[in-house]
């Protein structure tokens, strides 16, 4: 019998697309143009296409559609195995968004099956460009949404991402001498501090809305307003749109608390895990279904208002 945090079944309508270099994949209302030299990689075209399709399906599921109408993905061959990193631009030479992925020439199918990088980069397509001091928001959203989206399509088990968050979120806590997120551009505060902001916002929105709304609804509202990586937006305006989408003023309030001040403390984070019913269990986690916010935890990975 599946656990309470099991992901919903993956959609039956799987993506069909040609895998020739330069071919188009149409997913969630968007068009993805793949560009790569097939002879440069040990992987088959079909494997590369399936990997791209899974990432696009996860992002489209989380946002309700693909974030942009068109994007070009260029695969750059690197020595060795695995996915070696990625970069996303909102306005490349052709005026369209561009994702560049550094892919090992000898990358194996299993490495693509477990890859998070391409999904992370596709999430970036959904986030407007904010002022440089708030770069943590762009990276934090991508860090937080990527695994949640992959659970929602059945690609990952919920227990795995809660274990990753339990062990990873502490890297986003302020160190001695740190200031708020807008003033501490370290790696930990940028990626994990931004992700911690998203987790706290998701939980608070669900608490305030009776678990009917979450961060997913706020981010969908920003996209529905016509904003994406192709637009510039202040953080205040982005959060105002998001709060309007959920009906509760969580994002603006939390930004005032965390943008300029070094919070939360480690004790606050530990209390959050207890309220969600997430406890360490070796390298994994165990869930307490009697915890006050166990239903909120389930709803986050079930999607939107699900899991109640």
Give whole-number Cα distances, 38 to 10, 57, 104, in Å: 28, 23, 12
What's the start-to-end Cα distance of the chain, in Å?
Answer: 18
DSSP symbol at 112: H
Calpha distance 230→243 (Å, rounded): 21
Q: Which of 82, 98, 124 is the last residue of a domain?
A: 124
Write the pLDDT tens digit of every residue in 188-207: 999 999 999 999 999 999 99
Q: Evaluate the omega torsion of the peptide bond into residue 10 and state whether it is cis, within 30 degrees of 0.
A: no
Please, are residues 158 and 7 in contact by the beta-carbon 8 Å criterion? yes
Q: Which of 108, 124, 140 is the last residue of a domain?
A: 124
Helix (H) or strand (E) holding 99: strand 98-104
Mean pLDDT rounded to a whole number for the chain:
91
Please, are residues 56 and 25 in contact by the beta-carbon 8 Å criterion? yes
**308 belongs to a structural domain:** no
Q: Which of 106, 124, 142 is the last residue of a domain?
A: 124
| Same domain for 251 and 155 | yes
pTM: 0.92
| Same domain for 163 and 224 | yes
Angle at 6 between CA 115 and CA 202, to 5 degrees: 75
Among the listed ranges 50-59, 87-96, 237-246, 264-273, which one has the minimum average pLDDT value? Answer: 87-96
Q: Report whether pLDDT(303) > 80.
A: no
Instruction: Using the Cα atoms of residue 280, residue 281, residue 287 and residue 291 in order, give the sign of their dihedral.
Output: negative
Please, are residues 218 and 267 in contact by the beta-carbon 8 Å criterion? no
Instruction: Provide the pLDDT for residue 306.
Output: 46
Q: Report whether pLDDT(16) > 50.
A: no
| Same domain for 111 and 188 | no
The predicted model gives 71-98 an average pLDDT of 93
Please, are residues 245 and 218 in contact by the beta-carbon 8 Å criterion? yes
DSSP symbol at 190: I
More confident residue, 94 or 56: 56
Please, are residues 241 and 252 in contact by the beta-carbon 8 Å criterion? no
Calpha distance 303→199 (Å, rounded): 14
| Same domain for 51 and 112 | yes
Write the pLDDT tens digit of every residue in 235-282: 999 999 999 999 999 999 999 999 999 988 889 999 999 999 999 999
| Same domain for 227 and 264 | yes
| Same domain for 50 and 76 | yes
Q: Report whether pLDDT(176) > 70.
A: yes
* % pLDDT > 90, the chain: 84
Instruction: Provide the pLDDT for residue 20.
Output: 54
Calpha distance 86→49 (Å, rounded): 17
Burial classification of residue 144, based on how many CB atoms lie within 10 Å of its CB (0-12 exposed, 13-18 middle, 19 or more buried)? buried
SS3 content of the chain, % helix, strand, coil (to 5): 50, 15, 40
Write the pLDDT tens digit of every residue in 102-161: 999 999 999 999 999 999 999 999 999 999 999 999 999 999 999 999 999 999 999 999
For position 63, which CATH number holds? 3.30.379
Give whole-number Cα distances, 98 to 133, 139, 142, 182, 262, in Å: 23, 17, 16, 27, 34
φ/ψ of residue 100, rounded to 5: -115, 125
Calpha distance 38→214 (Å, rounded): 41
Give how many domains the chain has, as a whole number: 2
| Same domain for 174 and 78 | no
| Same domain for 265 and 284 | yes
Q: Report whether pLDDT(11) > 50.
A: no
φ/ψ of residue 233, rounded to 5: -150, 140
Residue 163 half-sphere exposure toward CB, CA atoms < 13 A: 12
**19 belongs to a structural domain:** no
Write the pLDDT tens digit of every residue in 28-39: 999 999 999 999
| Same domain for 201 and 138 | yes
Full residue range of the structural domain in which residue 75 is found: 24-124
Instruction: Provide the pLDDT for residue 119.
Output: 98
């Amino acid at each position: 019998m599946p656990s309470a945090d099991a992901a919903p079944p993956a959609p039956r309508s799987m993506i069909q697309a040609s895998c020739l270099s330069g071919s188009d994949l149409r997913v969630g209302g968007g068009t993805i143009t793949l560009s790569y030299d097939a002879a440069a990689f040990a992987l088959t075209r079909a494997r590369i296409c399936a990997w791209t399709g899974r990432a696009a399906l996860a992002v489209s599921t989380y946002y309700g559609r693909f974030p942009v109408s068109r994007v070009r993905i260029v695969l750059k061959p690197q020595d060795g195995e695995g996915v070696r990193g990625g970069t996303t631009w909102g306005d490349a030479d052709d005026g369209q968004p561009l994702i560049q992925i550094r892919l090992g020439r000898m990358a194996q199918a299993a490495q693509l099956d477990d890859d998070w990088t391409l999904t992370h980069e596709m999430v970036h397509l959904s986030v407007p460009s904010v002022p440089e001091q708030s770069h943590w928001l762009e990276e934090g959203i991508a860090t937080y949404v990527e695994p949640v989206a992959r659970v929602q399509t059945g690609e990952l088990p919920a227990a795995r991402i809660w274990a990753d968050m339990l062990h990873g979120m502490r890297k986003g806590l302020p160190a001695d001498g740190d200031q708020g997120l807008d003033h501490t551009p370290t790696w930990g505060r940028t990626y994990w501090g931004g992700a911690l902001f998203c987790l706290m916002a998701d939980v608070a929105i669900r608490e305030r809305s009776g678990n009917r709304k979450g961060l997913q609804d706020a981010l969908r509202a920003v996209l529905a307003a016509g904003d994406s990586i192709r637009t510039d937006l202040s953080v205040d305006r982005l959060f105002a749109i998001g709060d309007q989408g959920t009906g509760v003023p969580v994002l603006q309030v939390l930004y005032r608390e965390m943008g300029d001040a070094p919070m939360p403390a480690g004790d606050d984070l530990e209390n959050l895990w207890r309220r969600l019913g997430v406890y360490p269990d070796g390298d994994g986690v165990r869930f307490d279904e009697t915890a006050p916010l166990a239903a909120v935890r389930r709803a986050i990975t079930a999607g939107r208002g699900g899991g109640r």
